[in-house]
Structure 1
Amino acid sequence: MKKQETLTEPFEEIARNVKLENITDPIIPLEKLNQIDDSKYPNKTIQVNAVIASNSVSYNVPSEINVQCTNNRKEHFCRRDENIILDINEYPKFVEVQDYKREQILNQIAKSSFSSDCSLNIEEIKTITIKRLRVRPVVSSLYKKASTFFDDDGNEWTAYDVYVIQEDAKNIEAGKEIRITGQVIADPKNGKVTILVSELSFVDDNIYDLENIKELSKFYKTKNVDEIMSWLSKEFEKYSKIVKRENVTELGLLSMFSPLHIEFEGKTIPAWLKTVVIGDSTTGKSETIRQLIVLCRIGQIISGEMSSVAGLAGASVQAGGGQWFTDFGVLVLNDKKFLAIDGAHKLRKDEIDKLAEAERNGKIAINKAAKGEAYARTRQIKILNPLDEDGRTTATMDSFLFPVNSLQYSFQIQSIARIDLCCFVTDDVDVKDRNVISHQQHDSKLEHLSDLIRFVWSNNYNVKFDDGVIQEILDQAIFLENKFKSEEYPLITNDQKFKLAKLSASLAVITCSFDDTISNVIVTKEHVQYISKLIDTEYTKAGLEKISKQNKFDQIDTEKLYDISEAIISKTHVTREESIEILSWITKQSKIIRDELMDEFALSRDNQAQPLLTYLKNEKIIKTSRNHYSIAKKGVAIARFLMDFSASSASRVAKTDTPLTDSEIKRGVSILSELERLERLKIHTFKCNDCNSEWKNTKETLEEITKNHNSEHSIVMMEVLS
C-alpha cells in the first residue's frame, strides 16, 4: 500500500460528507455518565456531563482514501478508481495500531466497494486528528464496596475512554468538568461501551444568583462577626440535625469558602485551605462535612478506602495498544473545588508526606511510565480517627493525654506543619442532647450559601486588607506562636501570619464583607481577631498550650542535667563522671540496644541497665521502637547541650556559643566542675535549736527536714560544705 502526502480536514467538512446515520437523531440528555451502559443507548446520540481524568492522547487517522484497482486482465471489470470517505465510526479502529494493522483495516474498508479479484492500491489522501480521553462521572460522594467504588445512588464510579473528533477542542486538562455530545458505540479495541464525541464544551459550575448573595449580605449588615458565625452554626444545626459540632461546622465553612489566591505583603500566595478534623468514630464529624456539601450543592467527599497516592494523585495506565497515559486522581478532578477525604487515617504517614508537597504547590506531577502534570489547587479536609502506636489500629481520643497527641501516629511532623487549621472531636455530647426530636426549620437564607460559594469559586472579586489589618495579623501571629509553638506538634509555625491571612480572608467571604460593588472582599481586624480566638480556643482545649509550656520547661541547662545525672547515679550506682559518659553515649546513638549499653559500661541487666532505660523512657529522653530504643526530642536537647563538653574534667568548654577552631584552646568550666559546684550548693548542715539535733552534709531541704523531724521546732542551716 502506498501512502502519499495527506491533508488534515476539519470535522465540519467531514460531517457534511460522511454517512452518519444518527446525525439527525434527537439528542438524549443523560443525568449520569454511567447511564451509557444501558442497552437502550447504543448508536444513540446523547449529551452528558463528565470530568476529565487524564491527559489527552492524539491520533492521526485516515478520513478519506483513494482506491485503485491494478488488475489489468481483459476479463476483469471494475470501477478501477474511487475515493472513499470513511464513516466516523471507523476512526477508533485506527487508534494504537501498528502500520500493518492499519493497512489491514483499510483493505477491509476498500474491499467493500470492489470485487474479490481486484488488486487494490490504497492511498490516504485526507486525515483527521482524534483525541482519546479518559472521563469519569460527576459525583458528590464516593465509597468503596469490595474493590469497587460507588456513588451515593449506588452507581459504579467507572472510567470511560472516549474519542473526541472535534478538531477545535483545546485546553483539555484533567480536572475540568465538560459537557459531551456524541454517539454511544462499542469500542473496537475492547468491545467496551464508549462515546464518539462530536462536541465538547466546558461547564461553568460557578453560576450564582447575585440577588441571593445581596439578600444574605443585607441580613448580615446589622450583625458582627461573632453573631454571624453563631447564626450560621445554629441554623446549620437545624438543617443537619447534628448537635454541638460547631467547631467542625466552622472549620468546614472556612475550608470550603477559602479563596484560591490572595495578595499579602506584596505577593500572591495560595489561599486554598488544607485542614484536618480528627476524633472518635460516630461523633458526627464526617456527617457534618457531608451535610455542608449537600447544603452548598458543590464539592465531593470520598471514603478512606480509596485514599492512596494513586487514588488521590494519579497513576500511569497502559492502554490496549501498549501506549501509556496518566489517569489522574480525585485531587486533580477537584482542582479549584473542594474535596473531603473521610477515613484519611487509612493513608500511611509516608503517603500523606508524599502528597504534602503537591498539595502545597497545587500541582500533581506523575513521572513514571507515562509523564503527566495537572493542577490540584484543591480546598481539602482530611477527616480521620486517631491511630494507636502501631500506626494501623484506631484508638479513642481519651487514650491520649491531650487531644493534640492524637496527631502523632497519623502525620509526620512536616505534614502537621502544613495544616492550616485542625479541630479535635471527642465523644462528649450528652446522650439526651443526641436523642431529641427537633421540629425546628432552618432559615431559608442559609441556603443562599450555595450561591455565595459559587461566587467565591468564580474568583470574580479581589481580597483587600483594611487599614491596620496586616499589623493585627502580625500581632496575633506573635501571640499564637508564643502560646502554642511546639516542635513536636507544629500546628503553629513560623509562617503563621500566612495561615492567619488565608483564614481571615475566608471568614471575610463567609460573612459577606463586601464593598458596595461586591467586587472587593474587605478583611478587617474583627475577622483576624475572630480567627485568632478560634485557634486559641481549639488548641488550648486540645492541650497544645500545656505541651508548649512543657517543651520550654524541657530545655536543658546545667541544673536539669544535674538532676538527670543524679537519677542515673541512683539507678546504676555509678560515679558522677560515669553518669555523664553514659548519657553522652546514649544521646549519640541512632539505635540504643540494651545489650550494647550493658557491654559498653559493664552494667548488669536487671539491676542497672533496665532501671536506667525505664527512667530515660519515662523522662522522654528516649522512646521505644520496634526492637530497640531511639532518641526522643529531650534526648536531642541533651545531646546538643553536651556537644562541646566531655565527661573528663580535664576538657574545657567556652562559656559562649561561639564555635572554636581546632587550633584554639578551649577555656572555661568543665561540665563535671559545674555539676560538682551545684552539688556543693545543694549540700548543707542543719541544727535544731530546740533539741540540738544535727543533719550534716545532707541534700535534704529545710522543708523536708522540718516535716520529718518536728514542725514546731526551730531548725536552721549552719553552713555550706566548702
Structure 2
Amino acid sequence: MIGIAYDGSFGLIVSNGTKRTIVPVDKSDKEIFEILKEYLGEEYVAKHSGKFLTILGTLREAVFLNHISRIEDPSLNGKPIVIDLQIASTSITYVIPSRIIYGAVEKTNKNGEVEVVFPGGEGTIEINDLVNLKLIGARDTMVNYFLREKFGIHKDSPITVSEYRTAYYLHVRPPASELRKKGKEIFDAKSYEYKTYSLIIVTDEPLNLVAGKKIRILGTPVPSPKDSKLVIFAWHIDFPEEKESFSVDALMQLKAKLDSLGSLEAKVDWILENFEKYSGVVKRRNVALATLLTYFSPLYVEAFGKRERGWMLTAVVGDTTTGKSETVRLARELLDAGLFVSGEAATQAGLVGTATQVEGKGWFIDWGYLPLMDSRLLSVDGVHKLPKTVWASTAEALREGMIDIAKAARARANCRTRTIFIANPLSESYTTKDMNSFIYPVLALATIFDVINISRLDLAVFTIADEVKPHEIRGAGEPDPDFYLFREAIRWAWSNPEVEITQEALDEIVRASLRLYEKYFNNIVPLVTIDMRYKIARLAIALATLTMSTDLNKVIVTEEHVRFVEQFLDREYSRVGLDQLAKGESRELTADEFSALIGDIAERIGLDVDKLLDILRWMAVKGNFTRDEILQKFGIAEKNQLRPLLSELTGSGLIERKRGFVASGKLIKALKKIEQREEMVKCEVLVDADIIVHLEKGSYGPFKKGEIIEVPESDFVKLEELELVRRYDKSEDESSEEYPPDYIWFNEDRPS
C-alpha cells in the first residue's frame, strides 16, 4: 500500500492495486493525507494515521544510503536512513507490547480515607521507539521493568498489555550484481565486502520475509541493547520488486523492431549482431545465444499433461581467454539482472546456505546464492575450481527448485534459479586442459560434472581457442538504440507471462526430441536424454520470449521456434563430436579398431602395448577396481601414466565411473574379439568363378583368377580344399631371370 521512492529526493508510493502515484514528502501533512484517503480510504488512513505521521516525520530527515556498509559510519548512528537490502536468512519472530493499560495505585491514609497515589492510564509505544529493541526476547520481569521505566509507572501499578506488535530478527545483505573473492573475503562490484548485517523490523502487520527478496527499509543503525553490536532497527519495510513494472510502450517498440525484421533467423541474427557491438566480444554467438536463452527461460513449463521446471541449467565450457566469461558477464550488465559469481566465492555453503547460531536468539539459516537468486539468474564462473561433490549436493535442489537444510536449524527455501556454469576443462591432475586435447571436445564436460549433473543440463555450449584468432575476439561498434529495450523485456519475462505452445509446436517437439535422442544419446556425456522434449520446450519458450513472439498477454510458441532450437542444438553438439561419441559407444569395436585405439593410447601415455593389454584384461576380470589397485598391481606412474590412462579409457567408453571404476561391455566384447582373432592368410585365387561361398568367418566371391585376397586361417583351409585358392608365395613374384636385377648389360651381350 505504502512504499518509498527515491530519485534524489524522497516520496511516498501510494497504491491501491488499481492505481498508483508518488507523493513528494515536502508537501504538507494535510495535502499528503488527502491523497492517502483518496487511494486507501478514510477508515484505513484514520486507523494508521500515527504510523503515517511517523514515516513522514522520519523520512523528511532521512539519508539515502547506496550501500549497507555505510551504516558503519558512526555519524549515522541513531539517524533515520533509507536503504535497499536483500533478505539473506530465515527470520526469528518475536511478539512485543505496543499498547498497555496500567492501573491506579491507592493508599489509605491515617484518617482511613483512600488516596490515589498513582493514577491509572494507557501507554502507546511508537513504532520507531528504541524501547522496542529492549523488549525483544526479554523475560517478563524485564519487560515489566522497561515499561515502567518508559512510562514512569508506579512499582505497584498492575500492567496489562492491550495490543501487541511483531518484531522480526534476520540477516540481510547488499543487493549485488557481481561477486569476486580477494584474499579470504568476498567483494561486490562496488568494492564493498559482501557480508551479512543484522536487521530488526518492528511492524503492526505480519510480513512474508522470503529468502532473496529485495526490500527497502526506513530505519536507523543503532547498537544492540544486549551486546552493543551494530544492528539496523527498521520501522517501515517496502518490497519494491512487487511495485516495479515494465514499460508496455518500450516492449511494444522492441516488438515492432523485431517484427520488422521478418523471419525468426533474422531476429536472432539482429540480437546477436547487436550484442557483439555492445559487448565487443565477437564470434562467440553460441555463448551469447545460450546466455540470453537461459535468462529468458520460463519459471515453469506446462506441456504433455505435466508441469515441469522451466528455469534452465546451462554450461559454457571452453579454453581460457576465449571470451566465455566476458560474454556472460556483459549479458548481466546489459539486462541489469542476475548475479555473476566467481568460482572462488562459490563454496557449498555459499551456494546453498548454512545453519548459524546467534547468541541469545537461537539457530537460523543464512541462505546461499541459489535461494537468494530464486526466480532470477545465477552465473558461476570457474566452476572447474569446485569439487564435484559441491554439484552432487546441489543437483537435486537445482532440479526440484527447493533447498532443504536440516541441521541445528531446519528450513526450506525456493531455488528456482536459472543457472549458468562457466568452466575450463580439467586434466586428471586437475589442471586446465586444452579442448583440442580431447578425442571429442564434448568430453571436456565430463571432467567437470558427473553424469547425473550432465543429464540435467538443458544446454551446453563450447569455445575452442583455435576457432578464433586472439585479435578477432574483440569487436567494436554501437548497437541499435532499440537493443537496450531488452532491459525492459527481461522484467516482463520474469513477471511470468502466460505461455501458449501450439499443437503444431508440441508435435514438432516430440519429433525433434526423437531425432536428437537417436543421434546423440550416450552414457558418457548424456546431454541428450530421454526427457529431451522438456529441454526443447524450455528452449523454445525462451526463444519465443526473447524474440517477442507475444501479444504482451501471453508468449506464443510455434513450430518455427522448435525447429530453430533443434538446428541450434544439432549444430553445436555435432561441432564438438557428441554424435561421433554416441556412434562409438553404440557400436562394437572391431578387433582392428580396438588394436589401433590401444596402440594410440599406449603411445600417448608412454606404456608398452602388451602391458596395457594386460591391464585391460585384468580390469575386465576384476569388475570393479580403484586407482590404488591399479598402482599396486602394475606399478605404473600415477601422474604421467595412470591419470591420463583412466581419462583416455573413460573418454573412449572402455571403462565407466561407478564407485571407483568398472570395465564396460564395450571393453569386454573388444577383448574377446582380439583374443579370438585368427591369423590372416594371404592367398591367390586359382579360378574364375561367379559364385559366393559362405563360410564360418565370412562370405567370399565372385572369384577372379590371379587375384590376391586375405582370409582367416580356418576359412582358408576350406577354400583350399575346394581348390579355389592357394597360399600366396611372394617369392614367385620376383624376377625369374637368372641374372640379378642390378646386372649391367652391354648392348651386344643383352639376350634377344
**Category of TM-score, reference length = shorter chain:** 0.7 to 0.9
The aligned runs of 1:698-717 (5 Å cut-off) are: 698=713
User: Does the 8 A contact of 1:69 with 1:119 survive in 2?
Assistant: no
- Residues 83-109 of structure 1 show CA distances to partners (whole Å, capped at 9, x for unaligned) of 665563122234345x3xx63465366
* Residue of structure 2 aligned with 1:379, choices 413, 418, 437: 418
Asked whether the 8 Å contact 2:172–2:198 carries over to 1, the reply is yes
Question: Within 1, Cα distance between the matches of 2:616 and 2:297?
Answer: 53
**Letter of the 1:340 counterpart:** S
Residue 633 (str. 1) matches residue 669 (str. 2): no
In structure 2, relative to structure 1, the CA distance for the partners of 1:61 and 1:245 (3 Å cut) is same
Deviates more, 1:496-505 or 1:305-314: 305-314
Distance 1:380 1:675 in 2: 46
For 1:585 and 1:60, locate their aligned partners in 2 and report how far apart those are by CA, in whole Å: 69
Counterpart residue number, 2:29: none
The aligned counterpart of 1:90 is 131
Amino acid at match of 2:399: R
CA distance in 1 between counterparts of 2:148 and 2:708 reads 122
AA in 2 matched with 1:487: N
Q: Is the 8 A contact 1:302 1:340 kept in 2?
A: yes
| Match in the other structure for 1:585 | 621
User: Which residue in 1 is equivalent to 2:696?
Assistant: none
Kindly indicate whether the alpha-carbon contact (under 8 Å) linking 1:621 and 1:632 is maintained by their aligned counterparts in 2.
no
Q: Which residue of the partner structure matches residue 27 of structure 1?
A: 62
2:305 corresponds to 1:266: yes
2:457 counterpart of 1:419:
yes
Q: Which moved more, 1:409-418 or 1:544-553?
A: 544-553
CA displacement at 1:583 relative to structure 2: 7.1
Q: How big is each residue's C-alpha offset from its partner over 1:612-668, in whole Å with a ceiling of 9 and x where there is no partner? A: 99999976686699xx98424346x739x99xxxxxxxxxxxxxxxxxxxxxxxxxx
Of 516, 520, 532, the match for 1:484 = 520
Shift in alpha-carbon separation, 1:297–1:111, aligned structure 2, 3 A: closer
Counterpart amino acid of residue 330 in structure 1: Y
Q: How much has 1:694 moved relative to structure 2?
A: 13
- Structure 2 partner of 1:457: 494
Letter paired with 1:317: T
Q: Residues 613 and 167 of structure 1: is their aligned pair in 2 closer, same or farther, counting only changes over 3 Å?
A: closer
Aligned-pair identity (%): 29
State the match for 2:382 in structure 1. Answer: 343
SS in 2 for 1:408: helix
Q: After alignment, is 326-335 or 410-419 more displaced?
A: 326-335
Q: Which runs of 5+ in 2 are unaligned?
A: 1-44, 603-608, 687-704, 720-724, 736-752
SS for the counterpart of 1:446 is: helix
- In the alignment, is residue 159 of structure 1 matched against residue 196 of structure 2? yes
1:280-429 superposed matches below 5 A: 280-321=319-360, 323-391=362-430, 393-428=431-466, 429=468
Equivalence for 1:110: 148
Q: Secondary structure at the match of 1:501?
A: helix
- Indicate if the aligned counterparts of 1:187 and 1:194 stay in contact, CA closer than 8 A: yes
> What SS is found at the alignment partner of 1:317?
strand
Q: Given residue 166 of structure 1, which amino acid in structure 2 is its aligned partner?
A: T
**Corresponding position of 1:719:** none
Q: Aligned to 2:180, which of 126, 136, 143?
A: 143
- Superposed CA deviations along residues 136-171 of structure 1, whole A, max 9, x for unmatched, are 111211112222222111122232221111121322
1:331/1:376 contact within 8 Å kept = yes
Query: C-alpha distance in 2, partners of 1:414/1:580?
Result: 26
Q: Deviations over 1:8-51 (max 9, x none)?
A: xx997895799999747533333333332233322222222222
Contact 2:625 2:661 in 1 (8 A): yes
**Greater mean alpha carbon deviation, residues 201-210 or residues 266-275:** 201-210
Residues 231-273 of structure 1: CA deviation (Å, up to 9, x unaligned): 1111111111112111110001100011111221122221111
Change beyond 3 A, Cα 1:407–1:79? farther
2:480 maps to: 443
Say which SS state the counterpart of residue 420 (structure 2) adopts.
Answer: strand
CA contact under 8 A between 1:272 and 1:378: conserved in structure 2? yes
CA distance in 2, matches of 1:693, 1:267: 64
Cα distance 1:21–1:442, how it changes in 2: closer, same or farther (>3 A)?
closer
Task: Say if 2:684 and 2:726, in contact at 8 Å, map to a contact too.
Answer: no
Letter in 2 for 1:538: E
Aligned-partner Cα distance in 1 for 2:407–2:708: 83
Distance apart, 1:699 and its partner CA: 7.6
Q: CA RMSD in A?
A: 4.6
Give the counterpart of 2:509 among 473, 479, 493: 473
SS at match of 1:93: helix
8 Å contact kept, 1:274–1:380: yes
User: Are 1:274 and 1:379, in contact at CA under 8 Å, matched by a contact in 2?
Assistant: yes
1:718 is matched with none
Task: Return 179-188 or 303-312, whichever deviates more.
Answer: 179-188
1:36 counterpart = 2:71: yes
Contact 1:352–1:415 (8 Å) recurs in 2: yes
Could you tell me whether the CA contact under 8 Å between 1:144 and 1:150 is conserved in 2? yes
Report how far residue 683 of structure 1 moved: 6.6
Letter in 1 for 2:200: Y
Counterpart contact for 1:623–1:629, Cα < 8 Å: no
Alpha-carbon distance in 2 for matches of 1:223, 1:17:
53
The aligned amino acid for 1:542 is V
Cα pair distance change 1:385/1:82, threshold 3 Å:
farther
Report the Cα offset of residue 112 of structure 1. 7.5
Aligned length: 636
Name which of 238, 242, 251 aligns with 1:213. 251
1:638 is aligned with what amino acid? I
The answer as to whether partners of 1:404 and 1:544 remain within 8 angstroms in 2 is yes
- Change over 3 Å in CA distance of 1:708–1:96 after alignment to 2: farther
User: After superposition, what is the alpha-carbon deviation per residue over 1:110-154, rounded to whole angstroms, capped at 9, x for unaligned?
Assistant: 357779xx9667745354321112221112111122222221111
What letter is aligned with 2:289? Answer: E
State which of 525, 528, 537 in structure 2 corresponds to 1:501: 537
Aligned to 2:560: 526
SS in structure 2 at match of 1:204: helix
TM-score (structure 2 length as normaliser): 0.73
Q: How many angstroms apart in 2 are the aligned matches of 1:555 and 1:675?
A: 10
User: Residues of 1 paired with 2:46 and 2:222: CA distance?
Assistant: 18
Change in Cα spacing, 1:400 to 1:22, as seen in structure 2 (3 Å) is same
1:541 partnered with 2:580: no
TM-score by length of 1: 0.76
Partners of 2:91 and 2:358 lie apart in 1 by 12
- 1:450, 1:457 → 2: CA distance? 11
- The alpha-carbon deviation at position 431 of structure 1 amounts to 3.1
Cα–Cα, structure 1 residues 707 and 179, in superposed 2: closer, same or farther, change >3 Å?
farther
Deviation (angstroms), 1:342: 1.4
Q: Give the match's secondary structure for 2:76.
A: coil
Give the equivalent residue in structure 2 for 1:5: none
Q: Within the alignment, does 1:551 sit opposite 2:561 as a pair?
A: no
Q: Distance in 2 between matches of 1:216 and 1:17?
A: 40
C-alpha displacement of 1:319: 1.0
Alpha carbons of structure 1 residues 279 and 691: separation in structure 2 relative to 1, 3 Å: closer
Q: 2:92 aligns with which of 48, 57, 67?
A: 57
Contact 2:84 2:214 (8 Å CA) reproduced:
yes
* 8 Å Cα contact 2:166-2:206 kept in structure 1: no
